[in-house]
Amino acid sequence: MAVSSPVRKIVVSGALGAVSIVLVLFNIGFIPWFAGVSITFMHVPAIIAGVLEGPAAGAVVGGIFGVTSLVKAATQPQGPIDVFFTNPLISVLPRILVGVVGWAVFRLFRGRLTGAAAATAGVAGSLANALLVLGLLVLFKAIPLAVAGTVFVSNSLIESAAGGILTLAVVSAWKGIESRSGRSRLADEGS
| 188: in domain | no
| 170: in domain | yes
Sorting pLDDT into bands at 50, 70 and 90, what band is 186? Answer: very low
| 46: in domain | yes
Count of domains in the chain? 1
The pLDDT of residue 97: 96
Q: What is the pLDDT of residues 134-157, one digit of tens each?
A: 999 999 999 999 999 998 988 888
Beta strands in 12-171 (DSSP E): 30-32, 38-40
Q: What is the pLDDT of residues 81-125, one digit of tens each?
A: 889 999 999 999 999 999 999 999 999 987 778 889 999 999 999
Q: List the CATH number of the domain containing 61.
A: 1.10.1760.20
Report the 3 state secondary structure along 117-147. Answer: HHHHHHHHHHHHHHHHHHHHHHHCCCCCHHH
Return the higher-pLDDT residue of 5 and 182: 5
